[in-house]
Structure formats: C-alpha cells, structure tokens
Chain A
Amino acid sequence: MSTSAHSVVEPTARTKAIAGTLVVAYALLTMIPLVWIFLTALKTPPDSISYPPKIVFTPSLEGFCNLFTTRSRQTEEYIRSLPPAQGRCEEIARERNMAVAGPSNYLPRFWNSVVIAFGSTVLAVALGTMAAYGFSRFRVPLADDLLFFILSTRMMPPIAVAIPIYLMYRELGLSDTRLGMILLYTAVNVSLAVWLLKGFIDEIPREYEEAAMIDGYTRLQAFAKVVLPQAATGIAATAIFCMIFAWNEYAFAVLLTSGEAQTAPPFIPIIIGEGGQDWPAVAAGTTIFLIPIVVFTILLRKHLLRGITFGAVRK
C-alpha cells in the first residue's frame, strides 16, 4: 500500500481488479503462440498437423530426434535386418521405417550462433566501454556529432549495407566466416554499447577516480580499478542486450552466410521433413533457441527500458 500522501490518487480496489484482469487476459493471450510452439515440439508429426488442433496428446521426443538427426527411408526388410536400435531416436526412426543416417546440421548452426553472439558481444562491450568512458569523462571535440554518428549507423536498413559488405567480404575472404560475422555484429552492436554504457558511467561520480588518482593511481589504473567495478552491472546488462541482438539477427546472416558460418535463425525455417516442413522439429529447434532469451529477459527486467531505447529513457 502506498503512504497516506499518495492516497488521493491511489486507485480503488475495484479499479485495480479490473485493470489486473484485463492485463492478465492480454498476457495469457500473448503467451498462446509460445505455449503452442512448445507443445508442438513434443508432438509427433501426425499429431502436429491434426485438425482440430490437439491440446491433449501423448508427448514424444520425435521432434527433437528429427531436429538432431538426418534419416533415410528404408524397406521393412532392411530395417528388420539391422542390429537392435541404439537409443530412443533410432527406435522412433525405425517405427517409421527409417534409419538414422547421421547428425543434422542443427548443432553446428546453434554453435555458430553461440560463438558469433559471444565473440561479437565481448568485442562490442570492450570497445563500447572504452569509448563510453572516453565520451563520459573527457572533453572530446565534436562529441555530440560523434555520438549522433554512432547512433545513426543503426538507422541504416541492414539490406542497404549488405551489398558492399558482401563485396568487401568476398575480397577479404571473410564471406561465410565466423570472424566476418563477429566483426559485422560488433559494428552493429557497438552503437548500442556506447550509448548505454555512457549512461551508466555518467552516473558514477567522477570524484571516485579523482580520489584514486590523488592516491597515486594513473588515469588508466583508476579506470580499471574504480570505474570498471562500479560499472559492472551496467556492463553486464549491455552485454546481454548485445548478445540478444546477435543471437536474433537474421538479415545479415541469411544474405552473407551459406553454410560454414550460418547461425540458427536462417537454419530453423529450412528444416524440411518428408512431405513438407517438419513442424515438430522446427518447433523443437525454436524452443531450444528461445530458452536462453526468455531467461535473459527475466534477468534483464530492470534494464529493459534502457536497453531498448539506447538509454534515451531511464527508469
């Protein structure tokens, strides 16, 4: 309950109940697609395309098996001639007259996502922290113009710069490499990192470093030993925002990678089973891919607003 000073504007219990009901209804409605994708991941392919949509069904791991393996159709005689199935996935495949041919490309693509997201995040946050400190603490000529320039790089449609980047990467041998994608995502993320971190560093009183420098620290030591620890929360939040962007990015990934460095977002939609898209496998791939983001969202609650508005709005 709020204090008596606020009682004049405190909503009545009935208002609150109505507001709560409406918001919860919207939240539940908005969750349906996510719950549905999760349920689909646990269905068999026939269950996933039955009509009316099945809410009650026997859970199966087939979607996950189909996501992680490739299978080939075999004759029943051939299947019977095989040694006993090893593991659940092989059993499921044989029930459908198939043999597991090998692993699918999902894991390597997922791993590419991890490496590229992590690499670009580390680089963007490192560069961003330095630049943000520079802008926050020193009188930099044309600082406002430089900051606006950094921000404006985000306004460009990715497709607009994709053409020359494609040509440039072809010349430099960076096309379809993880390094190329890391550098690209770093460049996209560094604008966010600078803006967010500048906000966080601005909030740390300069006096802390100045006291440290009077104690005999150099400027760099004061930065490393005083400012960095103080900015740790902000740096962590910024890192997660950068990671989420790189994790979710699709336009550059689909245009500039074709195999080796392909990440999960362009890969998941092209998982095809027998007779069209294998929706349980797609749903399984999507579910695995979304889990880290859902966890991060919960961790980021307090910083969400800053992160999505470049720090233009603070809570």
Chain B
Amino acid sequence: MNQSLQPNLIDRAAVATPAGLARRVRGLSDRAIAWIFIAPTILLLLAINIFPLIWTIRLSFTNYRANRPNALVRDVGIDNYVSILTDPEVWQPMQATAHFVIWTILIQTVLGFSLAWLIDRKFRGHGFWTTVILVPMMLSPAVVGNFWRFLYQPQIGLFNYGISAVTGVPPSSFEMLGSVSLAPWSIVVVDTWMWTPYVILICLAGLRSIPDYIYEAAEVDRASPWRQFWTITLPMALPFIMLAVLFRGIENFKMFDMVNLLTSGGPGSTTEVASITLKREAFEKWRTGYSSAFAIILFVTVFGLANIYVKALNRVKSR
C-alpha cells in the first residue's frame, strides 16, 4: 500500500463507511461474522453457567441427594425455601456473612482511601511502593488463608508474637482462630491485609481523575485544605469509592476459600459464612435439593443488593 495515500484513504473510509462497507466487499457478511464471533462465548456461558443455574432452580424444589442418585426423587414444592427462611439457625450464617462483609468494607474503605490519598502526594518512589503494596491482592486467597493459619498459631505464630511485643499481652493467652470472640476478626484481619490494596488502586484512580484546575480555583478562593478535601476530593472520588465497595461486597459475600482454610466455619459456627454452610449442606450432608434452594436465595440476595446499589451508584455518578 502506498504510504502517502493512506491518510486520504482513511478519511474517505471514515466518511463512506458506517454500516454498509463490508457487505459490499467479498467474504462473509458482517452480520454473519458478528454472530460467529459472539456465539461460542454465549454458548459456553449457557452450558456452564445458565444451564447449571436452571438445574439448581429445578433441584431446589426437590429432595434430591447427589450421593444417592438412584433414590426416589420427590417434588417438595417450596418446602426447601420455607424451611430455610423459617429456620432460626440459617440466620447465623447470614449474620456471620453480614458481619464479615460490613466490617471488611468499612475498614478497607477507610484504610484504602487514606493510603491512596497519601500515595497521591507523589513522594519519591511512590510507583515502586504502590506496586509492593498491590502484591497481596494478586495471590490465591486459599494459599493466603493457609499461611495465615500458620501466622495465627498461638504458640509459634508470628502474629501473636508481634501483638505481644507491642502490647505486652502474653502470646499464648489468646487464640485468633480458636476463640469465639476473636475468630471472626481473624478473618477480617486477613481479608484487610489482602484486599486493602484493591481499594487503594481504585481510589487512586479516582483521585487522579480530579482535574488540577478545580484545586487551583479553590486556592484562588482561599479555601482551606480541610474544606478542599470535603468539597472537592471526597465528592469527586466518591463514585470510585462506591465502585470499590461494590466489587468488594460481591466478592466478600461469596467468600469461601479464605474462610474454609482459616477456620472452616469454626469455632462452633462463629465464622460460618453462607458459602461454608452451602458447602457443608451440599457436599458433606449431601442435601442437594435443600442446598440448591439455599444457593438460589444467596444468588438472589447478591443480585438484588448489587442492583439496588448500582442504581445508587449511578445517581451519584450523574450528579
């Protein structure tokens, strides 16, 4: 192709194209290509996501047990749902999940935003240190949970040792994973260690998206730094903070790996979040029908909450 002609051709194409060009040239029509390109993805998702979801819905109305495939399967109507929603013990995992989600989000948002705000001062080497901070969130939650189990050992663990070095409390006098009052917090600590970087990264993008001229105007108006923070920085970064909360909320609502490896839901059922209950019902007790109903309730809850939240997010964004 003649190089000097290219810009001219591009101009002409830009004017001439929109819809019709490819249909006039040889080869497959655009419509055919679009479908050939998109169909495999949709088919795969239908096979491995939607079909199982529909199957879960179907199973949720039965008393099927996956470990007894030959047993008589009975339709039990909405019995599974009724027994879940009326069982006071089911509220335990829901509360554990809520506790976990609310506290991790609260702590991580405050900590993450503060750190992002500090990183945004652009001190020397901020790029390097930001990358260092981001490493934990790229690791496998299961592997992270497992090695924190080691750090939490009351007799030998580094965590207890560190706490006792700072506070003077003897390290063997408290067990992060074994005590009813501390176990939920042990998970919050690990989750915060792992996922605060995520909030930092998104908040950082939010802070960088605020144009300098707004601050310059504020300086001209002699607004105090404090006032600038409350009237410019925070409101303009808010949609980003809310996005981080959304993603973290969805992820933590379905959190399984870390909890399974740190406490497996114990001691007692203090850290039994919804996913752990679900796993126990489905793959230990083999109450497939019952656990399917539980799964559907969970999915509807996440999906519903996420949708309500996205509406709020859009309202903030459009302000």
Interface residues of A (CB under 8 A from B): 5-6, 8-9, 11, 15-17, 19-20, 22-24, 26-27, 30-34, 36-37, 40, 48-53, 127-128, 130-131, 133-135, 137-140, 146, 149-150, 152-153, 155-168, 183-184, 186-187, 190-191, 194, 206-208, 210-211, 213-216, 218-221, 244, 247-251, 254-255, 265-266, 268-269, 277, 279, 282-283, 286, 289-290, 293-294, 296-298, 301, 304-305, 308-309, 312-313, 315
B71-79, B86-94, B132-140: which lies at the A interface? B132-140
The answer to the question of B40 belonging to the interface, with a C-beta cut-off of 8 Å to chain A, is yes
Residues of A within 8 A of B42 (CB): 131, 146, 150
CB atoms of A219 and B138 under 8 A apart: no
Residues of B within 8 A of A191 (CB): 45
B98-106, B179-187, B295-303: which lies at the A interface? B295-303
Residues of B within 8 A of A221 (CB): 27
Residues of A within 8 A of B275 (CB): 157, 159, 251
Residue on B nearest A205 in the bound complex, by CB: B10
A308 to B202 CA separation, bound complex (whole angstroms):
9
A22 to B155 CA separation, bound complex (whole angstroms):
31
A50 to B157 CA separation, bound complex (whole angstroms):
9
- Top 7 nearest A-B pairs (CB, nearest first) are A218-B27, A20-B123, A250-B142, A157-B254, A160-B295, A248-B140, A134-B37
Residue from A24, A36, A190 in contact with B45 in the complex, judged by beta carbons closer than 8 Å:
A190
CB atoms of A305 and B161 under 8 A apart: no
CB atoms of B142 and A265 under 8 A apart: yes
Query: Could you show 18 A-B contacts with beta carbons less than 8 Å apart?
Result: A11-B121, A32-B162, A34-B135, A37-B150, A161-B49, A164-B51, A164-B52, A187-B49, A194-B41, A211-B6, A211-B10, A213-B21, A219-B27, A219-B30, A250-B260, A283-B150, A293-B138, A305-B202
CB atoms of B41 and A131 under 8 A apart: yes
A52 to B28 CA separation, bound complex (whole angstroms):
71
CB atoms of A219 and B22 under 8 A apart: yes
The answer to the question of B316 belonging to the interface, with a C-beta cut-off of 8 Å to chain A, is no
A5 to B201 CA separation, bound complex (whole angstroms):
26
Residue from A23, A139, A187, A282 in contact with B147 in the complex, judged by beta carbons closer than 8 Å:
A282
Residues of B within 8 A of A251 (CB): 256-257, 275
CB atoms of A219 and B201 under 8 A apart: no
Interface string of B26-44 (1 = CB under 8 A from A): 1110110111111011101
Interface residues of B (CB under 8 A from A): 1, 6, 9-10, 12-14, 17, 19, 21-22, 25-28, 30-31, 33-38, 40-42, 44-45, 47-53, 55-56, 59, 66, 115, 118-119, 121-127, 129-143, 146-151, 153, 155-158, 161-162, 171, 193, 197-198, 201-202, 205, 208, 212, 215-216, 219-220, 240, 243, 247, 250, 253-254, 256-257, 260-261, 274-275, 278-279, 282-283, 288, 291-292, 295-296, 298-299, 302-303, 306
Contact A248/B139 with A50-B156, A157-B254, A167-B66 known, Cβ cut-off 8 Å = yes
CB atoms of A313 and B295 under 8 A apart: no
- New A-B pairs, 4, CB < 8 Å, besides A20-B123, A187-B49: A20-B129, A23-B123, A160-B254, A289-B140
Residue from A16, A161, A268 in contact with B56 in the complex, judged by beta carbons closer than 8 Å:
A161
Contact A255/B45 with A19-B119, A23-B123, A213-B25 known, Cβ cut-off 8 Å = no
Residue on A nearest B116 in the bound complex, by CB: A23
Residues of A within 8 A of B44 (CB): 127, 183, 186-187, 190
Residues of A within 8 A of B118 (CB): 19, 22-23
CB atoms of B19 and A139 under 8 A apart: yes
CB atoms of A23 and B48 under 8 A apart: no
Contact A218/B9 with A20-B125, A248-B141 known, Cβ cut-off 8 Å = no
Residues of A within 8 A of B27 (CB): 218-221
Residues of B within 8 A of A153 (CB): 45, 49-50
CB atoms of B193 and A33 under 8 A apart: yes
CB atoms of A16 and B123 under 8 A apart: yes
Residues of A within 8 A of B52 (CB): 161, 163-165, 168
CB atoms of A159 and B141 under 8 A apart: no
A141 to B37 CA separation, bound complex (whole angstroms):
14
CB atoms of A131 and B38 under 8 A apart: yes
Residues of A within 8 A of B55 (CB): 164, 167-168
CB atoms of A215 and B138 under 8 A apart: no
A306 to B8 CA separation, bound complex (whole angstroms):
34
Residues of B within 8 A of A11 (CB): 121-122
A191 to B48 CA separation, bound complex (whole angstroms):
12
B interface secondary structure, majority: helix
Closest chain-B Cβ to A180's Cβ sits at a distance in Å of: 10
Residue on B nearest A306 in the bound complex, by CB: B205
Residue from A52, A130, A183, A186 in contact with B38 in the complex, judged by beta carbons closer than 8 Å:
A130
Closest chain-A Cβ to B261's Cβ sits at a distance in Å of: 6
Closest chain-B Cβ to A26's Cβ sits at a distance in Å of: 6
A157 to B299 CA separation, bound complex (whole angstroms):
7
Residue from A17, A36, A155, A289 in contact with B303 in the complex, judged by beta carbons closer than 8 Å:
A155
CB atoms of B282 and A190 under 8 A apart: no
Residues of B within 8 A of A51 (CB): 155-156, 161, 171
Contact A286/B219 with A214-B13, A219-B33, A220-B27 known, Cβ cut-off 8 Å = no
CB atoms of B140 and A8 under 8 A apart: no
